[in-house]
Structure 1
């Protein structure tokens, strides 16, 4: 399973960790992903999805079906 939010599309990003002595080593910033069980009224069932905390806020604001439609349009 890729570490990607199904709603917002957030993925890990890479960059440099810089020490006090200014040594540079590669590192990754992971998105804050949570497994959530979401009720979809139109399908009358629960769906388990991996979403970021920002994605959870989007679901709360728009509703589940509107958020999924927006995500489908995004790709």
Structure 2
């Protein structure tokens, strides 16, 4: 399982751990990934995703999973999230 957020594309970063003597050793900055179940209003079902904590705040700020997916760029989303976005857009278009 990749250490990448399914909604924002946030991934592992690398950098240096710098000691008091200014020695530099490689380290990794891991994203704060959480397994969450989000409710899709358009689809009427729950969806399980592995997203970063910051992405969870963004989803709530934008007004839910459906609103987040409609505004999100396809390049940031994982393959499963892209399929979910297409499903949501199809349901919303049929409702209008």
TM range (shorter): 0.7 to 0.9
1:19 corresponds to:
19
Q: Which structure would you say has the larger RCO, counting Cα contacts within 8 Å and 6 or more residues apart? A: 1
Listed as ranges, the matches of 1:36-51 within 5 Å are 36-51=36-51
Whose strand fraction is larger, Structure 1's or Structure 2's?
1
Q: Structure 1 stretches (4+) deviating beyond 3 angstroms?
A: none
TM-score between the two structures when normalised by the length of structure 1: 0.86
Structure with bigger gyration radius: 2
Q: What is the number of residues matched between the two proteins?
A: 74
TM-score (norm 2): 0.69
In structure 1, stretches of 5+ residues that fail to align are none
Structure 2: 5+ residue stretches without partners: 76-96
CA-based RMSD of the aligned residues comes to: 1.3
From the two aligned structures, give the one with the greater helix fraction.
2
Q: 1:4 to 1:66 in 2, by over 3 A?
A: same
